[in-house]
Amino acid sequence: MKILIVLTSHSALGNTGNKTGFWIEEFAAPYYILEAAGADITIASPLGGQPPIDPKSDEEGAQTPATIRFKADAALQEILAHTQKLTDIDADDFDAVFYPGGHGPMWDLTNDIDSITLIEEFWDSKKPIAAVCHAPAVLLNAKDENGNYLIKGKRVTGFTNSEESAVKLTDVVPFLLEDELIKKGGLYSKKEDWASYSVTDGLLITGQNPGSSEAVAESLLKLLQNKPLAPKKEKRERIAK
């Protein structure tokens, strides 16, 4: 069972002068769940190397057992410091892909052609695609084999407008994820702010917020354990985005 985890390389929180990146909990909790299940995990990012960590995810109020374990895990931190470049990744080498959130993906992975291409190739090969919190933004510009937006008509969730308001970033982010998922045809649903909520529609798994990261990882494992590995499929001709 080979799983690709894709992290953001974007570190600037809009024009605020503050930093962003990936959210530790959304990476660490799924990583440890997948690793415990025997997954062979590869980590990649658009620029490769050390991906930026959202400093707020390292604050005292954001600590969880997974983040505490991560901070003491020198081996994983060394792996994280040397992520592979997305341009060097082949979807054929993996059985599933997982995108942790943090605000970073809204700026780079949403429009990154290598990420979009990978997502479409996983989809074409009928392999699971999972994303949590702000990371469902990576699905917004991916399309299916018929040229329709991938999420059109599919049940999805992601960071809510009210959660964005609660962290006072409504006017900072490039778009509101809840609104954009709906605009692209997603059948969006949510629970109350900060509740754990994961939605599975076929091979597409999305989670609402950081507290949903474990649920998304568990859903991904369930799909992989109950699904025969997909055969390689001829890659479709790419249309310029």
What are residue 188's DSSP bridge partners? 156
What are the tens digits of pLDDT across the range 160-218?
999 999 999 999 999 999 999 999 999 999 999 999 999 999 999 999 999 999 999 99
Distance between CA atoms of 194 and 212, rounded to whole angstroms? Answer: 8
Give the H/E segment covering residue 207: strand 204-207
Q: Nearest CA to 101 among 128, 129, 133?
A: 133
CATH (residue range 2-225)? 3.40.50.880
Which pTM was predicted? Answer: 0.94
Distance between CA atoms of 132 and 37, rounded to whole angstroms? Answer: 19
Domain range summary for the chain, segments of one domain joined by +: 2-225
pLDDT of residue 241: 44
Residue 127 is given by DSSP the state -
What are the tens digits of pLDDT across the range 32-46?
999 999 999 999 999
What are the tens digits of pLDDT across the range 97-139?
999 999 999 999 999 999 999 999 999 999 999 999 999 999 9
